[in-house]
């Protein structure tokens, strides 16, 4: 997720302009995030130089410092951008904020030197000023080094000089590798999150389809059982009616044979269609 410079945009820009304004006493501004969000805010600002700014860095936070310093070579104002990631910051947060570095640099533009720092040694004021001096131009360094060559035997100075450069180069490579790795880890984390989200979506879709299929089968089962129940009830009703139906039907002028006079009200005999059953005695007449 990208860094949000809009929410506190006015305050951010005001703090930045104070640092770049040569008439302002403010020579550093420190920025950090609001809680665990990506909303950038002004953390602190001051006029006490790098020494004062370093005291405000928090080992548990990701912070960005924009500082105005004096070039040790020319005395001209130079600007330093420090990307601070405290050693106590979680790896996941480091990865997220690693993607913000370029946006921060575009916003706090004009830096002559950028320092990626994780510990106090990385923000030592003398070390930072040395980097500013080194970045100010090769001519001054060349003359300075020429004077050193006059005072010290060439072989010894040459070996020491190469050793210092090698150490600085290794440190810079380690810092660059840290940011590259952090960004790569964040990209990998986002990719894994996307894969997990897709897997969860597919799982939820499968569960939904399975539930719908189970519900459909349950409805069909209930419908079949109900149909069987109705059919059975109709069949039983039919059996009941036919079992109790002991009467015969006949039309006027039909002849009933083999009559058995059960009582005054009901007789029994064979109807014209051959059915044997009871019939009301008052409906017939003996012949």
Residue 148 lies in a domain: yes
State the pTM of this model.
0.50
Confidence (pLDDT) at 137: 65
pLDDT at 189: 81
Check residue 234 and give its pLDDT.
53
Q: What is the mean pLDDT of each run of 10 residues along the chain (287 residues)?
A: 91 95 94 95 96 95 96 92 94 91 93 94 94 73 41 40 46 60 78 89 92 91 83 50 65 87 89 88 83
Task: Identify the domain boundary among 134, 168, 195.
Answer: 195
Asked if residue 263 and residue 191 are part of one domain, the reply reads: no
Whether residue 19 is found in the same domain as residue 144: yes
- Answer yes or no: is 2 within a domain: no
3-state SS track over the chain:
CCCECCCCHHHHHHHHHHHHCCCCCCCEEEEEECCCCCEEEEEEEECCHHHHHHCCCCCCCEEEEEEEEECCCCCCEEEEEEEEECCCCCHHHHHHHHCCHHHHHHHCCCCCEEEEECCHHHHCHHHHHHHHHHHCCHHHHHHHHHHHHHHCCHHHHHHHHHHHHHHHHHHHHHHHHHHHHHHHHHHHHHHHHHHHHHHHHHHHHHHHHHHHHHHHHHHHHHHHHHHHHHHHHHHHHHHHHHHHCCECCCCCCCCCEEEEECCCCEEEEECCCCCEEEEEHHHCCCC
Q: Is the same domain home to 43 and 182?
A: yes
Give the pLDDT confidence score for residue 129 in this predicted structure. Answer: 95
Give yes or no: residues 181 and 264 share one domain.
no
Residue 223 covered by a domain: no
Note whether 182 and 273 are same-domain residues: no
Q: Which domain holds residue 264?
A: 247-283
Whether 26 and 45 have beta carbons less than 8 Å apart is answered as yes
Q: Which residues contact 74 (CB under 8 A, 6 or more apart)?
A: 136, 140
pLDDT at 115: 95
The predicted-structure confidence for 71-112, as pLDDT tens digits, reads as follows 998 889 999 999 999 999 999 999 899 999 999 999 999 999
155 domain-assigned: yes
Number of domains in the chain: 2
73 belongs to a structural domain: yes
In a domain, 272, yes or no: yes
118 belongs to a structural domain: yes
Can you give the pLDDT at residue 223?
87
212 domain-assigned: no
50 and 188 assigned to the same domain: yes
Q: Are residues 164 and 276 in the same domain?
A: no
User: Do 52 and 186 sit in the same domain of this protein?
Assistant: yes
- Same domain for 135 and 277, yes or no, is no
pLDDT at 177: 65
Where a domain ends, among 157, 173, 195? 195
pLDDT in tens, 104-149: 999 999 999 999 999 999 999 999 999 999 987 644 443 444 344 3
Q: Are 181 and 257 members of one domain?
A: no
Q: What is the CATH number of the domain that holds 150?
A: 3.40.20.10
User: Distances from the Cα of 249 to the Cαs of 77, 157, 202, 215, 279, in angstroms?
Assistant: 125, 137, 70, 51, 8
């Amino acid at each position: 997720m990208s860094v949000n410079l809009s929410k506190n945009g006015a305050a951010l820009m005001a703090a930045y302009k104070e640092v770049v304004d040569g008439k302002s006493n403010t020579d550093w501004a420190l920025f950090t995030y609001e809680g665990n969000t990506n909303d950038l805010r002004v953390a602190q600002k001051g006029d006490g130089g790098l020494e004062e700014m370093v005291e405000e860095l928090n080992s548990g936070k990701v912070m960005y410092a924009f500082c105005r310093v004096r070039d040790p070579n020319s005395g001209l104002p130079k600007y330093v951008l420090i990307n601070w990631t405290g050693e106590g910051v979680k790896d996941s947060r480091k990865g997220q904020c690693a993607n913000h570095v370029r946006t921060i640099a575009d916003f706090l533009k004009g830096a002559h030197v950028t320092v990626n720092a994780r510990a106090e040694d990385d923000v030592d004021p003398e070390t930072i000023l040395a980097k500013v001096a080194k970045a100010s131009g090769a001519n001054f360094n060349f003359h300075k080094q020429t004077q050193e060559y006059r005072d010290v035997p060439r072989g010894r100075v040459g070996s020491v000089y190469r050793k210092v450069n090698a150490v600085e180069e290794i440190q810079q490579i380690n810092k660059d590798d840290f940011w590259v790795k952090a960004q790569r880890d964040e990209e990998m984390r986002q990719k894994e999150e996307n894969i997990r989200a897709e897997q969860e979506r597919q799982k939820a879709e499968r569960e939904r389809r399975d539930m719908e299929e189970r519900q459909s089968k349950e409805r069909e089962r209930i419908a079949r059982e109900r149909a069987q129940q109705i059919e059975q009830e109709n069949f039983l009703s039919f059996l009941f009616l036919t079992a109790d139906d002991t009467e015969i039907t006949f039309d006027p002028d039909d002849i009933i044979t083999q009559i058995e006079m059960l009582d005054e009200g009901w007789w029994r005999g064979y109807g014209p269609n051959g059915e044997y059953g009871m019939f009301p005695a008052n409906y017939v007449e003996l012949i």
